C-alpha cells in the first residue's frame, strides 16, 4: 500500500499497462477470499466439465468421418444384401453416436456456464464492494480531487473485468489450447503427421497475427474507453448540477460540451471498429487457407489410397472445431487486455492509503462531558502557505462556543480537524482529554453531530434522510426529532408525510426545509458535541429565525460549536473566538468583544450597517415600483 498525494494524477488518468500475469494474480486474490470458499468445489467441477466438452468436441469429427466411411462401405456393398445391411446399421450407429457426442460438446459448456454463474456474480460483487468501500474510506482530500462519474466507472469496469477474465481465461483460452493439443495428436495418430502440422501452423499463424494486430488495436480501444469515461464524467457533472446550469442559462453550453466529448468518443469508436474489420478479414484469410490445405492434402492422400473419403470430412470438421474458439481470439485477447487494464485501475485505487487512517489498535472514543481542546494546532491545505497556525482553544463541556472571522480565516478548517477529515501538521485535538488521533474515526464521528451550511440530502424519503442520523430509530424517536426541529407543520402538509421523496440532493425542498431536516437528523443522532457550520448563512431572515429556534433546541444540553457568518447567530454564545489569518485573534463574550472594539466589533458594525442599508434599498425599490410608469 502506498500513500496517494492529493495533487497527483488520479488513477483514472493514468495509462496502466494491463499486464496479463498481474491481472490473473489479482483475479486469483479475489477467488482466494474467504467469502469465495463456498464456491471452490463448484469451480473445480465447472473446469472438469469444460475439459470433458473439449474431449467430446475432438471425438465428434472422428465419429462423423467414420460414419461417412461406413456409408461408402454400404454403397460398395449394395450387391451383398447382408453386408450392405450390416454396414447401413453401422453407419447409422456412428452418426447417432456423432450426434450425441456433438450435442454433449455443445451442452456441457452451457451446463458449465449455468453452474459458474453464481461464482462469477459473487466475484464481481466482492470486487465492486471492496472498491466502493475502499473509496469511501479514502480521505476527504482525495474525494475533493475526484470526479464522481469517473471513479464510478473505474469500479464498475474493474468488477466486470473479474467476470470477463474468469470466463475467457479459464473457460475459453485454456480449453482451446487443450483442444488444439488433442486435435493435433488425434490427427497425427489417425490420419497423418501432415495434418497435425497444418493444424498447428494455421493456429500459430492465426494467434501471432491476432496478437500483433490486437496490440495495435488495444491503443485505439484505450483511447475509446478514455473518451467514454470523459463522456460519462461530463454527463454526471452536468446532470448533478442542473440547477446551476439553468440558473446561468447554460443548457446550450453544456450540450456543446457534451457534444465535444461525444464527438471524441465517436471518432475513437470509428477507428476501433474499422481496425476490427481489418482484423476479421486477416483472420478469415488464415482460417480458410488452413481448411484449403487440409482439403488438398487429404484429396491427394485419398487418391493415393492412404486415406478414405470420410477422413477428409473428419479432418475438416476437426479443424473447424479448433477454429471455432479461435474465431473470437482477437476479440478475446483485446478484451482480456482491456480487462487487465480495468482491473489494474481498480487495484490502483485499492492500493491507495487514506491520508487519515485509524491507528493500529485504535481505541473507542469515550465522551463523558464533551470538552474539546485544540492544543497548538497548525495545518495547511495543499497549495496554501497557512490555514491555521498554533491555535489554542479550550471549549468547556456543555458550552455554546462561536467561531467568527473573515472568509479563509480557518474556521471551517478547525471543524474538519475536529472531525479528523485531516490530521494537523502540528499539535493535537483532544475530546475529554483523549487525543482523537488515537481513536477510531467511526467512534469519533459517532460522537459528533453536524448541521452544515448546505444540507445535502439523499434522493430518498424524508424519513430515510432523518433516520440517517440514527439507523433503526423507532417512530417515536423520529417524531420527537421532527417536532423539535420545527418540521411538524411541514410534514403534516405533505400528502405522503415522511414518506415523501425529496429529489436529487433534496432539491424538492426549500433551503429552510432542508436545514430543518439536517437539524432533525442531528437531534435524532443525539451526539454529545454538535457542530453548526454556518447553518443559517444562506437563509432569509424569516427562515433563519425558524431554523435558529430549531438549532437552539438541538444545542440544548450538549457542547455546541458554531461557525458564524452572521454574527447575530452567535451573539448569545458563552464564548466567541475570532480567527484572523489562521490564528485566534480575540476571545470573549459578545459584550466583551464589542467593548474591546477590535476585529469582532468592526465586523459587527459592518454587518449592522449592511443590514440597515439593505432595508433602505428595499424600501427605495418598493417606492419606485409604486410609481406610475413614464409615458
pLDDT tens digits along 353-381: 667 777 787 788 888 888 899 998 898 87
Confidence of residue 6 (pLDDT cuts 50, 70, 90): very low
pLDDT tens digits along 257-269: 888 888 988 988 8
- Of 539, 495, 496, nearest to 518 by C-alpha is 539
**Count of beta carbons in the 10 Å neighbourhood of residue 518:** 31
11 pLDDT more than 50:
no
328 pLDDT more than 80:
no
**Which positions ≥6 away from 503 have C-beta within 8 Å?**
459, 509
Q: What nine digits make up the cell of 206? A: 492465426
Cβ–Cβ < 8 Å for 545, 568: no
d(CA 242, CA 180): 57
Q: Of the spans 71-75, 119-123, 287-291, which averages the highest pLDDT?
A: 287-291
Q: Which residues pair with 584 in a beta bridge?
A: 579
Q: Which residue has the cell 466589533?
A: 601
pLDDT tens digits along 517-526: 888 888 888 8
**Which positions ≥6 away from 154 have C-beta within 8 Å?**
11, 12, 131, 342, 345, 346, 349
pLDDT tens digits along 61-84: 888 887 877 777 666 655 455 555
Task: Write b or e for each residue in 379-388: b if 16 or more Cβ atoms lie within 10 A of its Cβ, otherwise e.
Answer: bbeeeeeebb
Q: Of the spans 154-158, 465-469, 609-613, which averages the highest pLDDT?
A: 465-469
> Measured between alpha carbons, how far apart are the two ends of the chain, in Å?
76
**Which positions ≥6 away from 103 have C-beta within 8 Å?**
none
Q: Which residue has the higher pLDDT, 378 or 113?
A: 378
Confidence of residue 2 (pLDDT cuts 50, 70, 90): very low
What is the mean pLDDT of the segment spanning 128-146? 66
pLDDT tens digits along 378-394: 988 766 667 788 888 89
Cα torsion 562, 528, 540, 499: sign:
positive
Helix (H, G, I), strand (E, B) or coil at 393: strand
Confidence of residue 411 (pLDDT cuts 50, 70, 90): confident
Q: Which residue has the higher pLDDT, 338 or 428?
A: 428
Cβ–Cβ < 8 Å for 521, 532: no
d(CA 131, CA 151): 10
> In this predicted structure, what is the pLDDT of residue 354?
67
Q: Over 111-162, what HEC string results?
A: HHHHHHHHHHHHHHHHHHHHHHHHHHHCCHHHHCCCCHHHHHHHHHHHHHHH
pLDDT tens digits along 45-56: 888 888 888 888
Please state the separation of Cα 276 from the chain's center in Å. 29
> In this predicted structure, what is the pLDDT of residue 136?
66
Q: Phi first, then psi: what are they for 403, rounded to 5°? A: -115, 125
* Mean pLDDT of the residues in the chain: 78
Lowest mean pLDDT among 134-138, 219-223, 376-380, 465-469: 134-138
623 pLDDT more than 50:
no
Q: Phi first, then psi: what are they for 218, rounded to 5°? A: -60, -40
pLDDT tens digits along 215-233: 787 788 778 888 888 888 8
Q: Which residue has the higher pLDDT, 155 or 413?
A: 413
> In this predicted structure, what is the pLDDT of residue 146?
62
- Of 277, 270, 316, nearest to 293 by C-alpha is 316
12 pLDDT more than 60:
no
Confidence of residue 612 (pLDDT cuts 50, 70, 90): low
Q: Phi first, then psi: what are they for 234, rounded to 5°? A: -60, -45
> In this predicted structure, what is the pLDDT of residue 86?
60
Domains defined along the chain, listed by start: 2-353 (1.20.1560.10), 365-447+560-625 (3.40.50.300)
Cβ–Cβ < 8 Å for 310, 67: yes
d(CA 106, CA 56): 9
Cβ–Cβ < 8 Å for 108, 100: no
pTM above 0.75, yes or no: no
> In this predicted structure, what is the pLDDT of residue 221?
78
Confidence of residue 546 (pLDDT cuts 50, 70, 90): low
DSSP-assigned letter for residue 390? E
Q: Of the spans 145-154, 342-351, 398-407, which averages the highest pLDDT?
A: 398-407
Amino acid at each position: 500500500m502506498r500513500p496517494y498525494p492529493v495533487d497527483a494524477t488520479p488513477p483514472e488518468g493514468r495509462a496502466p499497462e494491463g499486464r496479463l500475469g498481474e491481472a490473473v494474480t489479482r483475479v486469483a486474490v479475489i477467488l482466494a477470499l474467504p467469502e469465495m470458499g463456498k464456491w471452490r468445489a463448484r469451480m473445480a467441477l465447472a473446469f472438469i466439465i469444460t475439459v470433458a466438452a473439449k474431449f467430446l468436441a475432438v471425438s465428434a469429427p472422428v465419429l462423423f468421418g467414420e460414419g461417412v466411411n461406413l456409408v461408402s462401405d454400404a454403397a460398395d456393398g449394395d450387391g451383398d444384401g447382408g453386408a450392405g445391411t450390416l454396414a447401413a446399421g453401422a453407419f447409422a450407429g456412428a452418426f447417432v453416436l456423432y450426434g450425441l457426442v456433438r450435442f454433449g460438446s455443445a451442452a456441457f459448456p452451457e451446463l458449465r456456464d449455468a453452474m459458474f454463474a453464481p461464482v462469477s456474480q459473487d466475484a464481481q460483487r466482492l470486487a465492486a464492494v471492496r472498491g466502493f468501500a475502499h473509496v469511501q474510506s479514502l480521505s476527504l482530500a482525495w474525494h475533493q480531487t475526484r470526479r464522481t462519474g469517473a471513479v464510478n466507472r473505474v469500479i464498475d469496469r474493474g468488477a466486470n473485468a473479474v467476470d470477463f477474465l474468469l470466463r475467457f481465461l479459464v473457460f475459453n483460452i485454456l480449453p482451446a489450447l487443450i483442444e488444439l493439443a488433442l486435435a493435433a495428436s488425434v490427427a497425427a495418430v489417425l490420419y497423418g503427421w501432415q495434418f497435425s502440422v497444418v493444424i498447428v501452423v494455421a493456429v500459430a499463424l492465426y494467434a501471432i497475427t491476432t496478437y500483433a494486430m490486437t496490440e495495435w488495436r488495444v491503443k485505439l480501444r484505450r483511447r475509446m474507453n478514455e473518451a467514454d469515461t470523459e463522456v460519462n464524467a461530463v454527463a454526471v457533472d452536468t446532470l448533478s448540477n442542473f440547477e446551476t446550469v439553468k440558473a446561468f442559462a447554460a443548457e446550450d453550453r453544456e450540450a456543446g460540451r457534451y457534444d465535444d466529448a461525444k464527438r471524441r468518443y465517436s471518432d475513437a469508436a470509428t477507428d476501433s471498429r474499422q481496425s476490427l474489420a481489418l482484423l476479421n478479414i486477416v483472420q478469415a484469410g488464415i482460417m480458410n487457407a488452413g481448411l484449403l490445405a487440409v482439403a488438398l492434402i487429404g484429396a491427394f492422400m485419398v487418391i493415393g489410397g492412404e486415406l478414405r473419403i470420410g477422413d477428409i470430412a473428419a479432418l475438416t470438421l476437426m479443424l473447424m472445431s479448433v477454429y471455432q474458439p479461435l474465431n473470437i481470439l482477437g476479440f478475446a485477447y483485446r478484451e482480456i487486455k482491456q480487462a487487465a487494464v480495468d482491473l489494474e485501475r481498480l487495484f490502483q485505487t485499492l492500493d491507495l492509503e487514506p491520508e487519515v487512517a485509524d491507528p493500529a489498535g485504535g481505541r473507542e472514543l469515550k465522551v463523558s462531558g464533551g470538552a474539546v481542546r485544540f492544543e497548538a494546532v497548525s495545518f495547511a491545505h495543499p497549495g496554501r502557505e497557512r490555514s491555521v497556525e498554533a491555535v489554542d482553544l479550550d471549549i468547556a463541556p456543555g458550552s455554546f462556543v462561536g467561531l467568527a472571522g473573515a472568509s479563509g480565516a480557518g474556521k471551517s478548517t478547525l471543524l474538519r480537524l475536529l472531525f479528523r477529515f485531516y490530521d494537523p501538521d502540528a499539535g493535537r485535538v483532544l475530546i475529554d482529554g483523549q487525543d482523537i488521533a488515537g481513536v477510531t474515526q467511526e467512534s469519533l464521528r459517532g460522537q459528533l453531530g453536524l448541521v452544515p451550511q448546505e444540507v445535502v440530502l439523499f434522493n430518498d424519503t424524508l424519513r430515510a434522510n432523518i433516520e440517517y442520523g440514527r439507523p433503526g430509530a423507532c417512530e417515536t424517536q423520529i417524531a420527537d426529532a421532527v417536532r423539535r426541529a420545527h418540521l411538524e407543520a411541514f410534514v403534516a402538509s405533505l400528502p405522503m408525510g415522511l414518506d415523501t421523496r425529496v429529489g436529487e440532493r433534496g432539491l424538492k425542498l426549500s433551503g429552510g426545509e432542508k436545514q430543518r431536516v439536517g437539524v432533525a437528523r442531528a437531534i435524532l443522532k443525539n451526539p454529545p458535541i454538535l457542530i453548526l457550520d454556518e447553518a443559517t448563512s444562506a437563509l432569509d431572515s424569516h427562515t433563519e429565525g425558524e431554523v435558529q429556534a430549531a438549532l437552539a433546541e438541538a444545542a440544548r444540553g450538549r457542547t455546541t460549536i458554531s461557525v458564524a457568518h452572521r454574527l447575530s447567530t452567535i451573539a448569545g454564545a458563552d464564548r466567541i473566538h475570532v480567527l484572523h489569518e489562521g490564528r485566534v485573534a480575540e476571545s470573549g463574550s459578545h459584550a466583551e468583544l464589542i467593548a474591546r472594539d477590535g476585529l469582532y466589533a468592526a465586523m459587527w458594525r459592518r454587518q449592522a450597517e449592511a443590514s440597515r442599508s439593505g432595508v433602505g434599498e428595499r424600501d427605495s425599490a418598493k417606492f419606485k415600483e409604486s410609481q406610475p410608469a413614464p409615458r
